[in-house]
Every structure is written in structure tokens, then in C-alpha cells.
């Protein structure tokens, strides 16, 4: 049953309207840098042109998304089943001729068999790995596309699908380098006795680009400058 309440008198209305509000209610919210949690994948605005589905390169965008999906799905299959599975997947979804499908399958398989990173596409690797931690007093929370931890090293890969990729490390967007330096730094804390190796996988051209020490150092310098501008 609802409780019946007597209506407020005019005197009560005036009293409630004239009640002073606390001063803190009018003050801007103060956010400490310690309260900020950064997403490694969006640390700074990318300078590279976006390739959206509605752009003139929409077919390349769609192709990149399909190959990205293949690189997510195929590692769960035995090696001898991957190529046929990739062909069937493209026949159902790509809407292109057999020659184009064969080309794309060959490029995907070349990535999966990469001499330095084939292990990160094995069944022993993990996909979509959440990672949280602190670097230089800043908190980060992100998700790694593929991760493999072995006896002596850690391999980490991030997929990039929505733009034409650079051809050299010198031209890689600063935001990507900062992202990978963040992952490398957090993983080094978790596995301090293992070497950490990082790479970007450009699905637009199905090409794997390993980041050397200089590239990761560039990324670390960007991380160090956060909140200092």
C-alpha cells in the first residue's frame, strides 16, 4: 500500500527552495592522473588516413576484414586442414573469382608459416587476451590480438585492418608504436626473465612487420609524454 502524505504547505515549499546547496556541487570534477585508465589502442589520434567501408577502397576494406577473420579462425585448426578451410571460407564470403581466392589463401598461409612468428599462430597461442597493468605511474587496460608465451620468450601480435599500411618501420604511426610498447612493457613486468617480441600484422596486404628495439623505444617515448603536453 502506498503511504499517504499530506501536501506541503506554502511555508514548507519556500523552506525547501531556499535551502543552500553544498559548495562542492558547483565545483568542476577534479580527475587525478591516477584515476585515468588508458586504452593502449587509442593513446593518440592516428595520423594515417582511415579506410572506411563507405570509401572508394571499400572492397579492400572488406577483403582486409575477411582475412583478419581467417587469421583469427585458422590457428584453431590442425596445420593440414587450414588451407582447405581458408579456401572454403573465401568461396562462401569473398564474392571473388577462384584466382583471387587462391592468391588470398597463399598470403594468409604465408603469415601463418612465418619463420619467426609461426608459433604465435599455433594452438598453443592465445587470442583476444585482456591485459591490465601500470607503467610509469599510468594505468592501462587493453586486449592483445594474439599472444604466445614460451620457455624463453613472449610473442605478441596486433592486427591492423582499416588502413593501407606503411612499408617501413620509420613510417609506422606513432599510436601503433605506443600501443605495442605498452604491451611489451606490461608483458615484461609479467615475464621479467623472458624476451618480448612484438609485431604488427597488416591484413590490408597480409604482411607481418616485426618491431625492432628502435621502434619500440619510439613507442616508449610517446608513452612517457602522455599528460605532459
User: pLDDT tens digits, residue range 126-173?
Assistant: 989 999 999 988 999 999 999 999 999 999 999 987 667 898 999 999
The rounded percent of the chain whose pLDDT value lies above 70 is 76
pLDDT at 101 over 70: yes
**Mean pLDDT across 82-105:** 94
What are the residue ranges of helices labelled H in the chain? 10-17, 58-73, 79-93, 98-112, 174-190, 213-224
pTM > 0.85: yes or no: no
**Mean pLDDT across 206-213:** 91
User: pLDDT tens digits, residue range 21-61?
Assistant: 777 666 665 555 566 889 998 887 655 444 444 444 456 67
Coil, strand or helix at 37: strand
pLDDT at 17 over 80: no
Mean pLDDT of the chain: 83
- Cα distance between residue 183 and residue 15, in whole Å: 57
**Mean pLDDT across 167-186:** 94
CB-CB contact of 196 with 81 (8 Å): no
Query: How is the chain split among helix, strand and coil, in percent rounded to 5?
Result: 45, 20, 35
Amino acid at each position: 500500500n502506498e503511504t499517504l502524505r499530506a501536501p506541503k504547505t506554502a511555508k514548507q515549499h519556500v523552506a525547501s527552495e531556499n535551502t543552500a546547496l553544498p559548495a562542492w556541487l558547483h565545483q568542476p570534477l577534479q580527475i587525478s592522473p591516477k584515476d585515468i585508465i588508458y586504452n593502449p589502442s587509442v593513446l593518440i589520434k592516428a595520423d594515417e588516413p582511415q579506410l572506411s567501408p563507405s570509401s572508394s577502397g571499400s572492397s579492400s576494406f572488406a577483403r582486409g576484414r575477411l582475412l583478419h577473420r581467417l587469421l583469427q579462425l585458422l590457428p584453431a585448426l590442425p596445420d593440414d586442414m587450414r588451407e582447405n578451410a581458408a579456401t572454403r571460407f573465401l568461396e562462401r564470403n569473398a564474392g571473388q573469382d577462384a584466382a583471387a581466392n587462391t592468391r588470398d589463401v597463399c598470403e594468409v598461409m604465408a603469415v601463418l608459416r612465418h619463420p619467426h612468428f609461426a608459433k604465435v599462430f599455433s594452438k598453443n597461442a592465445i587470442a583476444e587476451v585482456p591485459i591490465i597493468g601500470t607503467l610509469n605511474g599510468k594505468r592501462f587496460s587493453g586486449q592483445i590480438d594474439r599472444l604466445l608465451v614460451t620457455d624463453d620468450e613472449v610473442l605478441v601480435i596486433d592486427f591492423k585492418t582499416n588502413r593501407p599500411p606503411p612499408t617501413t618501420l620509420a613510417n609506422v604511426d606513432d599510436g601503433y608504436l605506443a600501443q605495442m610498447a605498452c604491451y611489451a612493457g606490461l608483458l615484461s613486468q609479467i615475464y621479467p626473465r623472458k624476451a618480448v617480441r612484438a609485431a604488427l600484422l597488416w591484413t590490408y596486404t597480409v604482411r607481418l612487420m616485426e618491431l625492432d628495439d628502435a621502434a619500440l623505444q619510439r613507442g616508449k617515448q610517446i608513452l612517457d609524454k602522455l599528460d605532459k603536453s
